[in-house]
Structure formats: structure tokens, C-alpha cells
Amino acid sequence: MKNPLREFHCRGALVYAVLKLSKSFPQEPTIFTTENRELAEEVATMLAELGAIVDIRRDLHRLKGDTEVYSVAIEHENTRQLLQEYYHLGRSPLTKDFVERSCCKAAFLRGLFLAYGSMTNPEKEYHLEINALTPMFAEEIHALAVQCGIRFKMARRKGCEILYIKESEQIEDFLTLIGASTSSMKLMEIKVMKTVRNHVNRTTNCETANLGKTISAASAQVQDIRFIEQTVGLSYLDEDLQELAKLRLENEAMSLRELAAMLSTPISRSGVNHRLKRISETAEKLREQGVTAPETE
């Protein structure tokens, strides 16, 4: 997972979430444990930026069938003390200063989800949850998420307050908000597959497939037009082709019909298709003559 947080305030908000909601920190060195190494490293890197010396320990977790578990910890007691003072750690209410900006709210939720959240395999059922530790935190996080357009439901499990979402669209929104776009995309793909399997919304899917075709044909056209532009110049083309060539360069995703409508003298869709073919043939002839585009850096 690539770290999407460029701003220092956002990284601070993520670290704040991870430290504040820790069950054991700062009384004990361990902040949280995870099976995901990248995730442990993401948090550790941000803590290190604040000047903390962070340990990532790798243990075997007996209860989880000997899977590897990484624990993120700060051994140095003074550092723990400093972090406690700076971030007002403990079970006191959230310090709003750290999550003032909307970007920081999203970063805060990302930290919570990465360290204390989970998502069940969406192929079985949609379920995303965060362990909010105490009823007060649950309320506060719920309110903060609402400001970002996310509505968690609350439940209590084994003495822990759980915030959860079951609706797939809300889960997608949440994952997109916190920048977990890869898994968010994957979830969407699975949902699309399900939809196709159920023979619902078939047309939407067909349109998507057609759109893909349009774009790949267009990018070949754009390549040809660029080639002509860089070698002999667009004025080399017949006059009726020049306008279309410029239009295509500026509107790569546009359908033939839309392009046709934009020409100063509108022509039919097949007319546009014919002209684009002539442009590509021109490019092809130039290539055959040994004309080559200047090296691009």
C-alpha cells in the first residue's frame, strides 16, 4: 500500500490516531500489532519522522495458526513520555486540533483503519470495522466520520466498542476517503463481477467495454497525429483533415459522434471515421518513407 499522505499535518493526524487508540501505549512499548508488514512500516516511518526510535518486531502468533505478526513499539521511555504529552494520550477526549482540516480527518480515519480496523473478504460478505476501544471514542469517531460523509454503525463486542459498515457503497466511499484505493478498486471489481453474474446491469458493463475500445482506438489515432505533428507538421495534411487532427489531439476520449459534432462543418460519424483513417494512412506512408520522430526526452 503506497502512502498517500504528503502533508506533514496529515501524517501527524495518522500517527495521532494510532497512538491515541492504542490499548497498551504509552504504558507499554507496544503500540499495535498487525499481520501486514507494509502497514507496520508505514506507521513506523511516520513515527520516525517525529524523532522516535521505532521497533518493528516480528513474532509468530500461536493463536493465529503461527502466522507472522509485526508489532510496532517504542522502547525508549522518554520518547513515550514526550509523545504522551504532545498528543495528550490516554482515555481523554480527542484533541480536535489534530483533526481540524478535512484532509487530516481522512488521515486520522486511515490510521484507525490500518491499525485497528479490518475488512472481511468481500467475496463472502461486505463488512468493514474499526475497534474504537471505548464508548466515548466510538461516539467521537462516529461524529468525525459523519463530517466526512461516512456513517458507521456501532456495536459492542467482548467489551470493545466496534464501529462498522456493511453497505458496499459506504465501504467503497470509506476506502476511497482514506486513500486505500487499491483495495477499494478490488472491492468494486468484485462487486461488478457479482453484478454480471446476476445478469443485472448488463448494459452498463457493455458500455464500459465499448468505452475501453473507443479509448484504445483513439490513442492509436493520437499517436499517428503526434507523429505527423512532430515530423512534417499538421499543415502537411489535407486541409479537411487538419481541424479534425487538432480536435482529436485535444479530446482523446471523445467518441466519433462527438468529434463529428465539433467540426466547424459538421459531418457524419462515418465521415469522421474515414478522415481519421486517412490521417493514419498519411502517418503510415511517412513511416514507410523512413521519416522518424525526434527523440523525446
- d(CA 19, CA 46) in angstroms, rounded, equals 12
For 154-159, which contacts have Cβ atoms below 8 Å and span 24 or more sequence positions? none
Q: What strands, in cross-sheet order, belong to the sheet with 160-165?
A: 117-119, 128-131, 160-165, 153-157
| Cβ 6 to Zn ion shortest distance, Å | 9
> Rounded CA gap, 164 and 171, in Å?
9
Q: Which stretch binds Zn ion (CB under 5 A): 36-44, 99-107, 145-153, 275-283?
A: 99-107
Q: Is 148 in the site for Zn ion (CB under 5 A)?
A: no
What would the grid cell of residue 223 be? 499517436
> Does 101 help bind Zn ion (rule: CB under 5 A)?
yes
Q: How far is the CB of 280 from Zn ion (least distance, A)?
A: 48
As a whole number of angstroms, the distance between CA 88 and CA 46 comes to: 18
Size of residue set near Zn ion by CB under 5 A:
6
Provide, rounded to whole angstroms, the least separation between the CB of residue 109 and Zn ion: 12
Minimum separation from the CB atom of position 97 to Zn ion (A): 12
Cell numbers describing residue 230: 512532430
Question: Residue 18's beta-bridge partner residues?
Answer: none
103 binds Zn ion (CB under 5 A): yes
Q: What is the number of alpha carbons within 13 Å of residue 54 lying toward its C-beta?
A: 23
Tell me which residue of 137, 109, 105, 131 sits closest to 34, measured CA to CA. Answer: 131
Nearest distance from residue 10's CB to Zn ion, in Å?
A: 4
Q: List Cβ neighbours of 4 (8 Å cut-off, separation of 6 or more).
A: 179, 181
- Candidate residues 18, 31, 83, 104; the one interacting with Zn ion per rule CB under 5 A: 104
The least CB distance from residue 5 to Zn ion, in Å, is 8
A 10 A CB-CB count for 2 gives: 9
- The binding track of 9-38 with respect to Zn ion, each residue x by CB under 5 A or -, is xx----------------------------
Q: What track of x and - describes contact with Zn ion for positions 215 through 244 (by CB under 5 A)?
A: ------------------------------
Q: Which is nearer to Zn ion, 80 or 110 (CB)?
A: 110
**Considering beta carbons, is residue 10 or 165 the nearer one to Zn ion?**
10
Residue 99 DSSP class = G
The one-letter code for the residue type at 264 is: S
Distance, CA of 279 to chain centre? 38
Nearer to Zn ion, 109 or 244 (CB): 109
Q: How far is the CB of 16 from Zn ion (least distance, A)?
A: 11
Which residue lies nearer to Zn ion by CB, 12 or 122?
Answer: 12
Contact segment (CB under 5 A) with Zn ion among 5-13, 138-146, 221-229, 282-290 equals 5-13
Contact (CB, 8 A) for 68 and 61? yes
Site track 165-194 with Zn ion (rule: CB under 5 A), x = hit: ------------------------------
Sign of CA dihedral 49, 70, 34, 78: negative
Q: For residues 32 and 9, give the distance between their C-alpha atoms in angstroms, rounded to a whole number.
A: 22
- Please say which residue, 16 or 126, places its beta carbon nearer to Zn ion: 16
Stretch that binds Zn ion, among 3-11, 180-188, 220-228, 286-294 (CB under 5 A): 3-11
Binding site for Zn ion (CB under 5 A): 7, 9-10, 101, 103-104
